[in-house]
């Protein structure tokens, strides 16, 4: 999915830029990449040859006085059929830092300038080779911490996310056409605003949006990892659970209530998926000043939680539920963990029927931990399916949330017969949604009204 960026070009956008494209340090091969109007001319001067498009040429790279810098390969991709949409050259040499620095200095002496971070991809966006979500997916693919995150970033780079956004934008445009037809042509016999089909279309668009929002949230968790808060009464086994998941004794474990008096954080990876585990002070009344501060911090952590692991002592789970439930913020996802299940008589445990929100385990023996890890993978967005999610960022989720708020208001205004207000909310929804791809739609609705409806018949 390409961008149709129409804003002003950044300063220096017509310069020829150059940078080392491979990772810092020594390697078998290193690449100096150039992009811009002088890229080919610089390559000809460095290599002493006229490169053919999309061919690998063996070349000898030389200094201005003829001294050889290195032997390597030269590849030339003429505009617009290149990554940036400009003339692009890659000089592939041996991967020694001194060699690559010398080659880069030679390019700069011939007229290139150092590329800013991300400037090659920025030019790809400006020149319509990628939209903004795809451009961000390039960085996400490079930084992916798991195979699932890499697959998700690859799908975003392929335009899966952008295509879904564009389909929703087009649905919103269609709704605006209906509503603005009723506003601009009130003399027509048909009352478009009162048409049940219009409400049904808006409600269907809301359902599509909610599904996209859920998938974007899952994609964000795949990219950023999961923020998990471990909560529960004293001595329920919260610190033992943290240690079991971390694979080391990160938290002090004793039989004394109130051992954990501050917030402990540990970053762990489960099948490559990053989780930030936050162990908190046990929730109870009558704590001393220091422990009370730990409890206050525990409650503050809940606001940033993607998931709460509510740890209960299975020997008295009802008491634990009562102490935890009062502190849970509305809307937070909770997984109830019935810990110390190895201490409960087998007949009693057999009567338990775990549902989607409860797991029975023992942090001491390890029983049930594999099931917990599977649930954490699922919560982090890893479904195990071949297709998988697309990657998303916090700004995408925020834009979708604002889009949803405008859709809710538009539906309420439409039901109240306030067509102009509903149309404005749909416009604002499009504006928020368009932030994801950087694509701003031209407001040519009047022309589309005439082509979509038989007005005056």
Compare 432 and 143 and report the one with higher pLDDT: 432
- 116 found inside a domain: yes
For β-strands 307-313 and 334-339, DSSP reports them as: parallel
pLDDT band at 294 (very low <50, low <70, confident <90, very high): low
- Three-state DSSP at 253 gives coil
Residue 396: give its domain's CATH number.
3.40.50.300
Query: 150 and 109, same structural domain?
Result: no
Strand order in the sheet with 264-270: 264-270, 273-279, 226-231, 307-313, 334-339, 358-360
- 36 found inside a domain: yes
Strand order in the sheet with 113-114: 56-62, 68-77, 88-95, 27-35, 17-20, 113-114
What is the structure's pLDDT at 78? 97
CA quadruple 364, 365, 367, 372: dihedral positive or negative? positive
- Check if the beta carbon of residue 332 is closer than 8 Å to that of residue 309: no
| The two three-digit tokens of residue 190, written as one number | 């048909």
Q: Is the model's pLDDT at 374 over the cut of 70?
A: yes
Residue 25: give its domain's CATH number.
3.30.1360.120
d(CA 26, CA 20): 12
d(CA 147, CA 385): 12
What is the structure's pLDDT at 143? 82
- Secondary structure of 346-397 as H, E, C letters: HHHHHCCCCCCCEEECCCCCCCCHHHHHHHHHHHCCCCCCCCCCCCCCHHHH
- Three-state DSSP at 188 gives coil
Compare 174 and 281 and report the one with higher pLDDT: 174
- 12 found inside a domain: no
| The two three-digit tokens of residue 54, written as one number | 């999309």
Write down which residue in 131, 158, 191 finishes a domain: 131
d(CA 391, CA 148): 10
Query: 394 and 268, same structural domain?
Result: yes
Write down which residue in 131, 162, 194 finishes a domain: 131
What region, left, alpha or beta, does residue 292 occupy, with left being phi > 0 and alpha being psi -120 to 50 degrees? alpha
Q: Is the model's pLDDT at 384 over the cut of 80?
A: no
- 382 found inside a domain: yes
What is the structure's pLDDT at 61? 96
Enumerate the known binding-site residues: 33, 90, 129, 235-240, 254-260, 279-282, 457
Compare 208 and 313 and report the one with higher pLDDT: 208
Largest CA distance in the chain: 88
Task: Report, in this order, helix, strand and coil percent for the chain, each rounded to 5.
Answer: 45, 15, 35
Return the closest-CA partner of residue 254 out of 268, 239, 269.
Answer: 239
Peptide bond into 192 cis (omega under 30): no
Enumerate the known binding-site residues for (6S)-5-formyl-5,6,7,8-tetrahydrofolate: 33, 90, 129, 457
Radius of gyration, CA atoms only, the chain: 29
What is the structure's pLDDT at 253? 38
Query: 116 and 199, same structural domain?
Result: no
Q: Is the model's pLDDT at 140 over the cut of 80?
A: yes
Structural domain including 363 reads 143-437
Enumerate the known binding-site residues for K(+): 235, 254, 256, 259
Query: 70 and 154, same structural domain?
Result: no
Query: 334 and 248, same structural domain?
Result: yes
Mean pLDDT of the chain: 81
Q: Is the model's pLDDT at 443 over the cut of 70?
A: no
- 3 found inside a domain: no
Enumerate the known binding-site residues for GTP: 235-240, 254-260, 279-282
What is the structure's pLDDT at 192? 59
Compare 368 and 384 and report the one with higher pLDDT: 368
Q: Is the model's pLDDT at 121 over the cut of 60?
A: yes
Enumerate the known binding-site residues for Mg(2+): 239, 260
Mean pLDDT is lowest, of 77-86, 112-121, 141-150, 269-278, for 269-278
- DSSP symbol at 142: H
Tens of pLDDT, residue by residue over 54-106, are 999 999 999 999 999 999 999 999 999 999 999 999 999 999 999 999 999 99
Q: Is the model's pLDDT at 425 over the cut of 90?
A: yes
Rounded to two decimals, the pTM is 0.77
Q: Is the model's pLDDT at 2 over the cut of 80?
A: no
Return the closest-CA partner of residue 392 out of 186, 223, 177, 203.
Answer: 223
Query: 351 and 246, same structural domain?
Result: yes
Find all residues with CB under 8 Å of 418, minimum gap 6, and list them. Answer: none
Return the closest-CA partner of residue 102 out of 127, 72, 128, 76.
Answer: 72
Query: 47 and 24, same structural domain?
Result: yes
Query: 72 and 147, same structural domain?
Result: no
Query: 277 and 217, same structural domain?
Result: yes
- 262 found inside a domain: yes
Q: Over range 407-416, report the average pLDDT.
A: 93
Query: 317 and 196, same structural domain?
Result: yes
Q: Over range 29-39, report the average pLDDT.
A: 96
Q: Is the model's pLDDT at 197 over the cut of 50?
A: yes
Number of domains in the chain: 2
Query: 152 and 95, same structural domain?
Result: no
Query: 206 and 262, same structural domain?
Result: yes
- Location of structure tokens 């009370």: 292
Percent of the chain with pLDDT over 90: 38
- Check if the beta carbon of residue 349 is closer than 8 Å to that of residue 358: no
Q: Over range 192-196, report the average pLDDT.
A: 66
What is the structure's pLDDT at 453? 30
Q: Is the model's pLDDT at 442 over the cut of 60?
A: no
Q: Is the model's pLDDT at 169 over the cut of 50?
A: yes
- 10 found inside a domain: no
- 90 found inside a domain: yes
What is the structure's pLDDT at 116? 87
């Amino acid at each position: 999915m390409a961008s149709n960026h129409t804003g002003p070009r950044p300063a220096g956008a017509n310069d020829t830029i150059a940078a080392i494209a491979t990772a810092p340090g020594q390697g078998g091969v290193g690449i100096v990449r150039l992009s811009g109007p002088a890229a080919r001319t610089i390559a000809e001067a460095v290599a002493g040859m006229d490169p053919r498009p999309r061919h690998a040429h063996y070349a000898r790279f030389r200094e201005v006085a003829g001294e050889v810098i290195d032997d390597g390969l030269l590849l030339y991709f003429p505009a617009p059929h290149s990554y940036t949409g400009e003339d692009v050259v890659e000089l592939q040499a041996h991967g020694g830092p001194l060699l690559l620095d010398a080659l880069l200095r030679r390019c700069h002496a011939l007229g290139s300038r150092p590329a800013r971070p991300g400037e090659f991809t920025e030019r790809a966006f400006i020149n319509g080779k990628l939209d903004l979500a795809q451009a961000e997916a390039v960085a996400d693919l490079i930084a992916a911490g798991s195979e699932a995150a890499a697959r998700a970033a690859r799908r975003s780079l392929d335009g899966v996310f952008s295509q879904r956004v564009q389909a929703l934008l087009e649905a919103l445009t269609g709704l605006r056409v209906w509503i603005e037809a009723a506003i601009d042509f009130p003399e027509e016999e048909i009352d478009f605003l009162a048409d049940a089909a219009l409400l049904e279309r808006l409600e269907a668009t809301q359902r599509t949006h909610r599904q996209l929002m859920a998938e974007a949230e899952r994609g964000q968790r795949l990219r950023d990892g999961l923020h998990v808060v471990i909560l529960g009464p004293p001595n329920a086994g919260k610190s033992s659970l943290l240690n079991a998941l971390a694979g080391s004794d990160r938290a002090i474990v004793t039989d004394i209530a109130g051992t954990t008096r501050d917030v402990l954080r540990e970053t762990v990876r489960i099948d490559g998926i990053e989780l930030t585990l936050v162990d908190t002070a046990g929730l109870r009344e009558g704590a001393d000043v220091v422990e009370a501060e730990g409890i206050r911090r525990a409650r503050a952590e809940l606001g940033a939680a993607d998931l709460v692991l509510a740890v209960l002592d299975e020997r008295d789970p009802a008491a634990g539920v009562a102490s935890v439930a009062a502190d849970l913020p509305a809307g937070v996802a909770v997984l109830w963990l019935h810990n110390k299940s190895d201490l409960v008589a087998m007949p009693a445990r057999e009567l338990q029927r775990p549902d989607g929100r409860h797991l029975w385990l023992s942090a001491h023996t390890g029983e049930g931990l594999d099931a917990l890890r599977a649930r954490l993978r699922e919560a982090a967005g890893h479904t195990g399916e071949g297709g998988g999610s697309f990657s998303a960022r916090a700004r995408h989720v925020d834009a979708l949330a604002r889009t949803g708020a405008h859709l809710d208001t538009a539906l309420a205004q439409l039901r109240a017969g306030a067509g102009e207000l509903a149309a404005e909310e749909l416009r604002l929804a499009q504006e928020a949604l368009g932030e994801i791809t950087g694509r701003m739609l031209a407001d040519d609705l009047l022309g589309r009204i005439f082509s979509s409806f038989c007005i005056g018949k």
